[in-house]
């Protein structure tokens, strides 16, 4: 009788526990490294969520921006019937009893529109950031997972590869505090670019496109560092103003498989600026850099800017329209009104975010150097001047962002 009662209670508890299990979307597992039919392109999303990304919708609802971008990335992945998509969500890292990592980060792997793998993982200890002694790159674990699980390249060709990074401004010089749950870890442009380079496996060609959905990272220094990592880089030389670069246009790879990388990036920029222009009254700039052209002179331009700003020479008064540099320009000069659309990503929280150490917005490098010294060949620019203020009269942007030496 006791045994029967025990079995009955055990069975009842099992049913109750099963009823509390959260049902997740089914995963159709695929062996690591297995091939898949019709893989024409690969998308890699790196979503930094280990910081302050809280914002509020029009209705006042608190939202986590990285979670909202995750939804957008998953929507793209589910429609990528001819592609392979990796989504790495760098959530805050917690520890059990303050000692053992809980594997809070998440990876989602899609092939042909199907979720084939979902994993929890942690960053490799001591392997991220710049630190002391031998420097280690960021994204070690993410790059290892990608290399282990990705479909092998075809014998005659490889899929187009596009990587998108969403997060706060990447500091030019290494500093601590970028990751909220690991504030002791150094992170800067050198660690970032070394980390991104790990997604280019030995002997492979560069990424076709790298999208930096961050503030103030369309700079000569950053492009110089990335010139061998990607053929094209889409970034903002100034502030994205609580927003982010859209990725929905990547699905043009489904309907227009032969679309060129520059044309695809232009569609992404068009969509992003079109959305932001409906609610942002401040200036917005997006730049598409052809690294084969702009990458060849980026280091020299960065050096010239450093020399001039260190001597405080040829600095135009802040707010004056810069000289027209001849940069390719897509203008939107309408007066902008209205609240946000609820699709904002706080990529630069100057009070509490990783960019707080600077807390400033870049200016157009054309405000620091005479026009003949600013080169914009190899750059396409999407520029919307602010609706009011001294900068409202500007008609173009050089495509390069520089730290304002007056701050």
User: Strands 284-290 and 379-384, how do they pair?
Assistant: antiparallel
Of 225-229, 233-237, 346-350, the poorest mean pLDDT is in 346-350
Whether 181 has a pLDDT exceeding 90, the answer reads: no
Between 32 and 341, where is the model more confident?
A: 32
How much is the average pLDDT of 5-14? Answer: 44
Looking at the predicted structure, is the pLDDT value of residue 111 above 80?
yes
261-300 pLDDT tens trace: 999 999 999 999 999 888 887 889 999 999 999 999 999 9
Question: How many angstroms separate the CA atoms of 147 and 283, rounded?
Answer: 39
Among 71-75, 121-125, 197-201, 326-330, which is the least confidently predicted range?
326-330
> Higher confidence at residue 340 or residue 99?
99
- SS3 state of residue 381: strand
Q: Give me the pLDDT at residue 95, please.
A: 67
How far is it, in rounded angstroms, from Cα 47 to Cα 66? 6
Give the span between the Cα atoms of 132 and 174, in whole angstroms.
11
Tokens of 36: 């898949």
* Averaged pLDDT, 41-60: 85
Structure token digits, residue 349: 């929280």
Residue whose structure tokens are 């380079």: 197
The maximal CA–CA distance of the chain, rounded, in angstroms, is 95
Instruction: Please write the tens of the pLDDT for every residue from 61-87.
Output: 888 888 999 999 999 999 999 999 999
Domain positions in the chain: 36-402
Handedness of CA 337, 342, 346, 349 (dihedral sign): positive
Q: Is the distance from CB of 172 to CB of 60 less than 8 angstroms?
A: no
Mean pLDDT calculated for residue range 165-194:
89
378-403 per-position pLDDT tens digit:
999 999 988 787 778 788 999 999 99
The mean pLDDT value of the chain amounts to: 79
């Amino acid at each position: 009788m006791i045994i029967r009662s025990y079995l009955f209670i055990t069975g009842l508890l099992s049913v109750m526990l099963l009823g509390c299990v959260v049902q997740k979307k089914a995963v159709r597992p695929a062996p690591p490294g297995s091939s898949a039919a019709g893989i024409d392109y690969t998308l890699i999303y790196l979503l930094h969520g280990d910081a302050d990304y809280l914002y509020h919708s029009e209705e006042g609802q608190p939202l986590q921006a990285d979670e909202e971008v995750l939804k957008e990335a998953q929507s793209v992945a589910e429609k990528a019937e001819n592609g392979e998509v990796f989504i790495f969500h760098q959530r805050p890292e917690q520890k059990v009893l303050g000692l053992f990592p809980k594997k809070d980060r998440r990876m989602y792997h899609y092939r042909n529109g199907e979720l084939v793998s979902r994993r929890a993982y942690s960053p490799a200890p001591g392997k991220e950031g710049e630190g002391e002694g031998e420097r280690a790159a960021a994204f070690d674990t993410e790059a290892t997972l990608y290399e282990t699980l990705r479909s092998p390249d075809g014998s005659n060709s490889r899929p187009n590869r596009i990587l998108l990074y969403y997060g706060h401004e990447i500091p030019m010089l290494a500093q601590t505090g970028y990751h909220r749950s690991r504030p002791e870890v150094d992170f800067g442009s050198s660690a970032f670019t070394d980390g991104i380079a790990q997604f280019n496996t030995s002997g492979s060609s560069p990424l076709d496109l790298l999208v930096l959905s961050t503030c103030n990272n369309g700079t000569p220094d950053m492009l110089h560092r990335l010139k061998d990592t990607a053929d094209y880089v889409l970034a903002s030389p100034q502030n994205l103003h609580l927003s982010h670069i859209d990725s929905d246009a990547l699905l043009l790879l489904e309907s227009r498989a032969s679309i060129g990388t520059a044309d695809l990036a232009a569609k992404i920029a068009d969509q992003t600026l079109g959305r932001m222009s409906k609610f942002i009254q401040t200036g917005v700039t997006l730049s598409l850099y052809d690294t084969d052209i702009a990458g060849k002179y980026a280091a020299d331009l960065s050096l010239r800017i450093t020399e001039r700003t260190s001597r405080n020479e040829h600095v135009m008064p802040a707010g004056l329209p810069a000289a027209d540099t001849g940069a390719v320009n897509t203008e939107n000069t309408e007066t902008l009104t209205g609240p946000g659309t609820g699709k904002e990503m706080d990529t630069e929280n100057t009070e509490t975010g990783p960019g707080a150490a600077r807390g400033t917005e870049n200016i157009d490098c054309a405000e620091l150097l005479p026009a003949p010294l600013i080169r914009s060949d190899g750059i396409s620019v999407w520029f919307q001047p602010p609706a009011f203020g001294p900068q409202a009269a500007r008609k173009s942007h050089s495509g390069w962002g520089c730290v304002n030496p007056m701050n």
